[in-house]
Amino acid sequence: MIRAAAASIVLLLPLVAAAQDSRNAYLRQFDTDGNGCVSEAEYVAYMSRGFERLDTNHDGVLEAYELPGGRGKPLTLKQWQANLRRQFHRLDRRHTGCLDAQELTAPPG
C-alpha cells in the first residue's frame, strides 16, 4: 500500500513541476521589474490592457456594446482600475503588497 502511494506521488511530480513552471511564467508576464513578485501597480498596468483591447472606439469608456455580452453600464478606465485594485487586495492573502506566483494564480476569494 505504501509503495503504491509512493509510486503515485513519483508519477505526479512532473505534473506538479509543470504547474509551477506555468505559474512562474504567468507571473513573469506581470513582473516588469523582475523581482519575483507582482506589485499593485504592475498588476493594474498589466490587467488594464484588457480595457484597452475592449475600448474599440478609444474614448476611455467601455460602452455596453464593447462589453462581453453587449450589456452593462458604461465603465471608465478609472472604475476598471479601482476594481483591479480591489481584486489585487483580495488576491494578496498574505498582505505583503506583492503577489507571488501562487497568489497570482489563485481564484479570487
What does pLDDT average to over the chain? Answer: 83
Give the integer Cα–Cα distance in Å for 79 and 41: 15
Q: What pairing do the DSSP bridges indicate for beta strands 61-62 and 38-39? A: unpaired
Top-tier CATH class for 2-105: mainly alpha
Q: Is the pLDDT of residue 109 over 90?
A: no
Q: Is the pLDDT of residue 72 over 70?
A: yes
99 neighbors 105 (Cβ within 8 angstroms): no
| C-alpha cell of residue 103 | 497568489
Task: Look at 16 and 50; give whichever has higher pLDDT.
Answer: 50
Phi first, then psi, for residue 76 (nearest 5°) are -85, 165
Q: Is the pLDDT of residue 92 over 50?
A: yes
Least confident of 5-19, 31-45, 50-64: 5-19
| DSSP H helical ranges for 31-98 | 40-54, 77-91
Give the integer Cα–Cα distance in Å for 96 and 92: 7
